[in-house]
Structures are given as structure tokens and as C-alpha cells.
Amino acid sequence: QVQLVESGGGLVQVGGSLRLSCAASGIRASFYAAGWYRQAPGKERELVATITPRGSTDYTDSVKGRFTISRDNAENTVYLQMSSLKPEDTAIYYCNLGGVHGYWGQGTQVTVSS
């Protein structure tokens, strides 16, 4: 059974940092493109960052220079390092493997207070 378990969310002040983790089990995460999505209240889910099996990364414009996606294949884990956080980053963050029709985690709440 494939499971993706996110952790690391929480409440942080503007300008602060958080690191989200996505631990995969029942699947070799390194074989798949991985992504972090987020969904704010009343808004559609949006793609935040992606990383290919080879390690190429891409980001939505609003987080470029502030967020970094990475993966540790030995730990079967994908990370999202978030810095210089803004109130508009407040959302539930979801980990994904294999694209929108792939595998999803349950989400972790990130709240940035001003």
C-alpha cells in the first residue's frame, strides 16, 4: 500500500521558515516526479514546486527564490524548504508523486501570521 505522509507544517510569523517533509512508503519515490501543491481557503489547488527523478526543479513564480524542493532517495523522502514566508503562503500543502493522477499525501497546514 502506497502512503505519503507529510510533516513539518505549523504556525510561523512573517519572514520565518519551515521545512516540510513527505515520507513515502510502499513505493520507490525516486522513480517518480515529485511535487508540492497547496490549497488556500476558497482557492483552487496550485502547483508550488516540482522535482524530476534526475533532480531538475521548477517553481511557481510566487515562491521562486524563497522555496526549495529536494529529495533524499536513500530516505525515500521529498522536502520543501520554505523561507521568507508571507501571509499569502498560508494553505494546506500536499505532497504528490507521479502527477495529478498519481499519489497524494493527506496534507499539512501552514499558517503564516502577520
What are the residues whose beta carbons fall under 8 Å from the beta carbon of 69, sequence distance 6 or more?
34, 35, 36, 49, 50, 51, 57, 59, 78, 79, 80, 81
pLDDT for res 4: 97
Mean pLDDT score of the chain, rounded to an integer? 97
Per-residue pLDDT band for 52 (boundaries 50, 70, 90) equals: very high
Mean pLDDT across 39-46: 96
Mean pLDDT across 53-73: 97
Place of cell 510533516: 7
Mean pLDDT across 62-86: 97
pLDDT for res 76: 97
